[in-house]
Amino acid sequence: MKLLEEKILKDAKILDGNIIKVDSFLNHRLETDFLDKLAMEIANYFSGKGINKILTIEASGIALAILTAVHMDNIPVVFAKKARSKNISAKVFSSKVESYTYGKFYNVTVSKEYLNSSDKLLIIDDFLATGFAMEGLIDISKQAKADIIGLSVAIEKGFQNGGDNLRKKGFDLLSLAVVDSIENNTIIFRHL
């Protein structure tokens, strides 16, 4: 998506360790009209596919998910919670996820009340790098016997392979921008 690529080139900061900092518009300060355009793009791509629920993860997936839901006939959104506790309630689906940035493990949990086998899911997040968080959401969806119709993220870091692994497994993954590499502080996008 050209709009997002231009925005990244204009506003993103590149930190040590190939971290792309986009907290000026995507995950700390939220640029409402811009996020709404991303949401519309996602909604258009997945329209007509029978999706009846969006699954995302706290905190920075929530804004993009709810705006997308508005453009998909106001379908509900469920956001998974991150729990550090070792004691996970029997009332939730949970999946253990490694945090690449922090090197720690956390549990992604969703109440069993809010995911079930009649769900046709679109899973949304702001970022996809290793794909560990997305794999956790997929694991939970499978535990609930829900159908996963598609996955979407704003920014995929192509060089960390999470997205390619998901595509190889057959998932319909829409990444609005794919960063293929960062060379000398310059971001190179992937185009198919």
**Residues contributing to the site for a second copy (CB under 8 A):** 23-24, 28-33, 35-36, 58-59, 62-63, 66-67, 69-70, 74-79, 81, 110-111, 113-114
Amino acid letter, residue 113: E
CB 82 within 8 A of CB 58: yes
Which run of H or E residues covers position 67?
helix 62-70
The distance of closest approach from Cβ of residue 183 to a second copy in the complex, given in angstroms and rounded to an integer, is 26
Q: Is 157 assigned a ligand-binding role in the annotation?
A: yes
The distance of closest approach from Cβ of residue 85 to a second copy in the complex, given in angstroms and rounded to an integer, is 11
Please tell me the distance from the alpha carbon of residue 150 to that of residue 123, in angstroms, as a whole number: 6
Of 21 and 169, the one with the shorter C-beta distance to a second copy is 21
Q: Is 48 assigned a ligand-binding role in the annotation?
A: no
Which pair of tokens denotes residue 7? 């925005």
Q: Measuring CA to CA, how many Å separate 101 from each of 19, 48, 98? A: 9, 36, 9
CB 125 within 8 A of CB 108: no
The distance of closest approach from Cβ of residue 68 to a second copy in the complex, given in angstroms and rounded to an integer, is 10
Q: Is 53 assigned a ligand-binding role in the annotation?
A: no
Of 31 and 172, the one with the shorter C-beta distance to a second copy is 31
Please choose, from the candidates 127, 115, 130, 124, the residue with its C-alpha nearest in 3D space to the C-alpha of residue 166: 130
Of 116 and 161, the one with the shorter C-beta distance to a second copy is 116
Of 150 and 158, the one with the shorter C-beta distance to a second copy is 150
Q: Is 129 assigned a ligand-binding role in the annotation?
A: yes
Q: Is 27 assigned a ligand-binding role in the annotation?
A: yes
Half-sphere exposure of 137 (CA within 13 A, CB side): 27
The distance of closest approach from Cβ of residue 182 to a second copy in the complex, given in angstroms and rounded to an integer, is 22
